[in-house]
Amino acid sequence: PTEETMAAWNHLTVTPALNLTADEISQLGLSTDSVQWPKSPGGVRIISSMGCIGYLESAHQLHCLHPTNPLYTHTASKIAEMPAIGEAHLEHCVDVIRQRLICTADTSIVTFRWVKGISGAYPNFHTGHVCVDYEGLLGWVGERKADMGRVEGWDYRFREGEGREMVGLP
């Protein structure tokens, strides 16, 4: 990835921690035993108004997608004979997921809890989400499924002179 690409990823994934009030925690339906901001060594709270630590779920999801960039680079460099379309396809796949995560940003909040056996505050990834009825969606897709038996032998390759133009990869 280029420096520009990495800067764009950092812009999306390096988000500030949140300071949530007890009322906000309650309204969001989050655990009331979420970790609060600690006191500094002098006994004064680091954040002026005491609250719980939170993190935006969509930033967390983008953070989880981000490590696929080195996988993409590794795959593309390891398979040198990969045609341009293959490399472009990998890049496209990561970008489509990135766009979807941004366009439908999950506004859930990740809070933190104290967990036995772990020395620091641990993220509570059990956040509520609004989900699509995926089985219903698959049913809709099934109702519109193309009968591939009727298109068997269809040659989908480009042929000159058929009134079509080739376009560049977006």
Q: What is the pLDDT of residues 10-62, one digit of tens each?
A: 887 777 778 788 888 888 888 777 877 766 555 555 555 567 888 888 877 88
What does the pLDDT look like over 131-158, one tens digit per residue? Answer: 778 788 778 767 776 655 555 555 556 6
Q: Check residue 1 and give its pLDDT.
A: 65
Question: Do 59 and 12 touch, CB atoms closer than 8 A?
Answer: yes
Token representation of residue 35: 């970790």
User: What single string gives the DSSP state of each residue in 59-83?
Assistant: HHHHHHHTTHHHHHHHHHHH-TT--
What does the pLDDT look like over 91-135, one tens digit per residue? Answer: 777 888 888 888 888 888 888 888 899 988 898 888 887 777 878
Alpha helices in the chain (DSSP H): 3-13, 22-27, 57-65, 68-78, 84-103, 134-143
Q: Check residue 156 and give its pLDDT.
A: 56
Q: CA 37, CA 34: separation in Å to the nearest integer?
A: 10
- Indicate whether 77 pLDDT > 60: no
Q: Check residue 167 and give its pLDDT.
A: 64
| Closest among 69, 57, 74, 61 to 100, alpha carbons compared | 61
